[in-house]
Structure 1
Amino acid sequence: MKICSDYSFEANLLKVHLNKATDLPAMDIGGTSDPYVKLFFLPDKKRRLTTKVHRKTLNPVFDERFDLPLLYKDIAQKTLVFGIYDYDRFGKHDSIGSVEIPLSTIDLGAPFLGSKPIKSLTQKTLGDICFSLRYVPTSGKMTVGILEAKNLKKMDAYGLSDPYVKIYLNRNGKRLKKKKTSIKKNTLTPYYNESFAFEVSQEIIQSVELVIKVVDHDQVGSNDPIGKVVLSKNAEGQALKHWTGMINVPRRPVVLWHTLEVCRC
């Protein structure tokens, strides 16, 4: 990001010229972004100034000037932040990244001109899903409660999805059972609260695999997978924690959030 700045000791103003940014990541499914920038000081964040939104570009030329009130005695404690966001007409604006300049690191006695790398460029996550697992050993019944999902990947051209959830019970590479939830239209934060029961005896419970897959329904073409969670005794991280919790605390539902992983299928 190309930035110019100059401090006016007489007016107690930091004058900033935000020139342009280059090679931003694509945040929309069309391969572009709608970037804009918020300017503010850390640690207070009290006053935020915002650029115009630049449509469908990864190389926005802002060419905007801002006057930020700043007392000389506060300079050493302030960090100037340029927060870069992707404008979303239908939902929450996504963070692309930021440039942070501790003012103690630059000479405000002379104009500053330079390019700063954008840090923490974010890749869009596939989303998160919350579900419960309950296992009753005596009856060999495993209940999966699909509760809700959030921040799902946008799969439709207008920035939303039509998500539903498929639940697979597999063993030794073979599918034993398959069930699915209802479809929730035009949302990235679907609420389901739907339960599904599977018969899984104690003899095979440690040899089965449970797959929770979120899918975008398409009336015209094929349905597109958004992401999945795979649980078993061989899982890792949150998935293993959830599976182990279900086994170790029988008869009680165990509820956890999971971050969706890429479906390679």
Structure 2
Amino acid sequence: MSLGLSSLQIFLPISDTLKYCLLAFAIALFLAAMIILACKMHQYYQYRSSAIVKDKKTTGTSVEKKTEGNILVKSLNPDFLETARKEQDSRIQHMQKEMEKLEVHLTPSPPSTESLDDMGSDSDRPHGSRGKLKFSVNFNKKTMTLLLSVIEATDLPEYSRDSFVRIRVFSKVDEPQSEVQSVIHECETKVVKNSRDPIFDEDFSLSLKDYQSSNISLKLEVKDFDKYSRHTLIGETRVALKDLKTSETLEFCEELQEKTKDIIGEVLISLKCLPTAQKIEVGILKFKSSSPKIIKERDVYARIDVFSNQQKQKHQKSSLRAKSKVTVFNETFLFSLPDPKKTHCLVLISLYETIGNGRKLIGQTSLGNQNTKSDGSHWDLMMQTLRQPVADWHPLYI
């Protein structure tokens, strides 16, 4: 027995005082936990009772408002209520008309052969005076040099803020019954900001050697500059050198006219309709340039935009090709066409050439079953020979 007690004293060498202290500390912790629990429970019941009181108050006020509203409606004159209802109906009808107008403006209009850079610029502007352009021309027949001075523009439309003049010199291809032209020179004036009567006062010296003066024409386009979007065409004017009978400087002040198109080349396009797959295959085969000078460092590519039922599909691009007199692509692209006989479809093909980090539009053509400037015989022939490619040449406009 003494041996067992001695062993317990070895393994539990804790005094009674320490045991009681630990027990008191544990009881104190338990009491503190209970106090905290009681406080939390008290807070919870207070929050719940206040929420119930608020709900009763809100329901009471809503009921009071409803009753007050009913009493007010009952106390009003029936004639006054009828007048208020008529005014409300007229406002609703006015809002419906405004929504219809907005829907008409937001609905995309049928695209045309207009350039993607200028699309919608003319149709969105009010008709009327486009302003005037003042310039002078001096053609020296001995040196075959054209001296052009762009002086000023006057009375431009109200929407015109920052304007400039784009100059193109065309030479008609010396072929009988041909309307194809080549662009000899292209340049621009500086941009004049915040003026409806901009003064440009710029001179250009353009060499016309190796060209016949009777085939040369001058085209000046006044455009509204936009830094973040497409430039808007205001109007244009033209001068043919064959009409200049003297070598003296002639000054012109011409009314700006609507935009007109010039044919500057041809593109060979193939079409194939796949009715089972509900697709159309557009092929870009060749591009024939009318430009007498070909810059070898520049590449060209084609962009195809398809509009079906006035909805634009995602455009596709061809690979880059070295520009030459006849550039060969031989590439095909597939676009969806749900119902070839009923779906209104327009295919817009644009040819671009690369310039440094940017691009320059060479020309565009369009075809389809909509009322466009292009001939619809190619589209009709495709519909007559389903699942078979049909190729035809189309003029490129600029």
Size of the aligned set, in residue pairs, is 166
User: Amino acid of the residue matched to residue 314 of structure 2?
Assistant: K
* C-alpha distance in structure 1 between counterparts of 2:342 and 2:297, whole Å: 37
User: Amino acid of the residue matched to residue 178 of structure 1?
Assistant: H
Please identify the structure whose Cα radius of gyration is greater.
2
Pick 1 or 2: higher relative contact order, CA cutoff 8 A, min separation 6. 1
- Hey, which of these two has a bigger chunk of helix by percent? 2
- Hey, which of these two has a bigger chunk of strand by percent? 1
Deviation at 1:57, TM superposition (A): 3.0
Q: Which residue number corresponds to residue 355 of structure 2?
A: 218
Equivalent position SS for 2:364? strand
| Root-mean-square deviation over aligned CA pairs | 3.6
Equivalent position SS for 1:177? coil
* C-alpha distance in structure 2 between counterparts of 1:147 and 1:131, whole Å: 6
* C-alpha distance in structure 1 between counterparts of 2:355 and 2:144, whole Å: 36
Instruction: Establish whether residue 252 from structure 1 lines up as the match of residue 381 from structure 2.
Output: no
Assess, with a 3 A threshold, how the Cα gap between structure 1 residues 209 and 237 changes in structure 2: closer, same or farther.
Answer: closer
Q: Counterparts of 1:100-139 in structure 2 under 5 Å?
A: 118=242, 125-139=263-277
Equivalent position SS for 2:283? strand
Q: Deviations over 1:160-195 (max 9, x none)?
A: 742110111113443213111111124242101111
Answer whether contact 2:278 2:340 (CA < 8 A) is retained. no
Instruction: Give the share of equivalent positions with the same residue, in percent.
Output: 23
* C-alpha distance in structure 1 between counterparts of 2:365 and 2:262, whole Å: 17
Q: Which residue number corresponds to residue 164 of structure 1?
A: 301
Answer whether contact 1:152 1:189 (CA < 8 A) is retained. no
Aligned pair partner of 1:174 in 303, 311, 335: 311
Deviation at 1:250, TM superposition (A): 1.3
Deviation at 1:238, TM superposition (A): 4.8
Assess, with a 3 A threshold, how the Cα gap between structure 1 residues 26 and 236 changes in structure 2: closer, same or farther.
Answer: closer
Deviation at 1:209, TM superposition (A): 1.5
Equivalent position SS for 1:246? helix
Q: Deviations over 1:42-71 (max 9, x none)?
A: xxxxxxxxxxxxx9535x7xxxxxxxxxxx
Q: Which residue number corresponds to residue 243 of structure 1?
A: 379
User: Amino acid of the residue matched to residue 356 of structure 2?
Assistant: Q
Equivalent position SS for 2:376? helix
Q: Which residue number corresponds to residue 90 of structure 1?
A: none
Deviation at 1:260, TM superposition (A): 0.8
Q: Unaligned stretches of 5+ in structure 2? A: 1-140, 148-168, 172-183, 188-204, 216-240, 244-260
Answer whether contact 2:262 2:397 (CA < 8 A) is retained. no
Q: Which residue number corresponds to residue 151 of structure 1?
A: 289
User: Amino acid of the residue matched to residue 347 of structure 2?
Assistant: L
